[in-house]
Amino acid sequence: MPYLTPSLSHSSRKHLAVLRQRLSQVTSSWAMDDYRAFVTFYIRILPKLMNVERCTIFIMEIGSNRICSIFGTGLSEMQIEPPLEGSIVGKVISSGISCIENDLRSNPGFHMYADEQTGFISRNMICAPIKGMSGNLITGAVELLNKTKGESFDAEDLQQLEEVAQFLSISIESIVLNQEILRIAGYLNKEVGRLEQATVRGTRIIAESAAMREVLDLVQVVANSPINVIIQGENGTGKELIARMIHESGERRQQPFVPVNCACIPENLVESEFFGHERGAFTGADAVRKGLFEEASGGTLFLDEIAEMPLQIQPKFLRAIQEGEGARLGSSRLIHYDLRLISATNKDLTVQVKNGLFREDLFFRLFSVEILIPPLRDRQEDILPLALHFLEVTNKHFNKNVAGFTSELLDMFEQYSWPGNVRQLLKEIERLVALTVSGEVVSIEKCSRELLSFYRQQRKSGENEPSASYAIEPQVRNLEVGLIKRAMKKALGNKTKAADLLHITRQGLLKKIKRYNLDTGERDQSIPR
pLDDT value of position 74: 74
| Delimiting residues of CATH 1.10.10 domain(s) in the chain | 475-515
| Delimiting residues of CATH 3.30.450.40 domain(s) in the chain | 34-185
pLDDT value of position 229: 92
Overall average pLDDT of the 389-396 stretch = 90
Across 425-450, b (16+ Cβ under 10 Å) vs e yields bbebbbbbbeebeeeeebebebbeee
Overall average pLDDT of the 476-493 stretch = 79
Residue 191 has pLDDT above 70, yes or no: no
pLDDT value of position 27: 46
Residue 486 has pLDDT above 90, yes or no: no
Overall average pLDDT of the 348-362 stretch = 90
Residue in 340, 335, 339 with CA at minimum distance from that of residue 289:
335
Query: What is the per-residue pLDDT across 330-347, written as a single tens digit (0 to 9) for each?
Result: 888 888 888 999 999 999
pLDDT value of position 451: 93
Residue in 243, 272, 270, 275 with CA at minimum distance from that of residue 258:
243
pLDDT confidence bin for 300, thresholds 50/70/90:
very high
Choose the most confident range, by mean pLDDT, from 31-40, 318-327, 389-398. 389-398
Lowest mean pLDDT among 61-65, 188-192, 223-227: 188-192
Q: Could you give the CA distance from residue 62 to residue 177 in angstroms, rounded to a whole number?
A: 8
Overall average pLDDT of the 12-29 stretch = 51
Q: What is the overall mean pLDDT for the chain? A: 80
Return the CATH number of the domain spanning residue range 203-374.
3.40.50.300
pLDDT confidence bin for 80, thresholds 50/70/90:
confident
pLDDT confidence bin for 452, thresholds 50/70/90:
very high
pLDDT confidence bin for 178, thresholds 50/70/90:
low
- Please identify, in words, the CATH class of the domain defined by 475-515: mainly alpha
pLDDT confidence bin for 413, thresholds 50/70/90:
very high
pLDDT value of position 400: 93
Q: What is the DSSP string of 216-241?
A: HHHHHHHHTS---EEEE--TTS-HHH
Residue 432 has pLDDT above 90, yes or no: yes
Query: For the chain, what percent of residues have pLDDT higher than 90?
Result: 21
Q: How many CB atoms lie within 10 A of CB 454?
A: 16
Q: Could you give the CA distance from residue 277 to residue 294 in angstroms, rounded to a whole number?
A: 11
pLDDT confidence bin for 30, thresholds 50/70/90:
very low
pLDDT value of position 248: 87
Q: Could you give the CA distance from residue 201 to residue 204 in angstroms, rounded to a whole number?
A: 8
Q: How many CB atoms lie within 10 A of CB 17?
A: 12
pTM: 0.54
pLDDT confidence bin for 45, thresholds 50/70/90:
confident
Q: Could you give the CA distance from residue 256 to residue 271 in angstroms, rounded to a whole number?
A: 21
CATH topology assigned to domain 379-464: Helicase, Ruva Protein; domain 3 (1.10.8)
Return the CATH number of the domain spanning residue range 34-185.
3.30.450.40
Query: For the chain, what percent of residues have pLDDT higher than 70?
Result: 80
| Delimiting residues of CATH 3.40.50.300 domain(s) in the chain | 203-374
Residue 8 has pLDDT above 60, yes or no: no
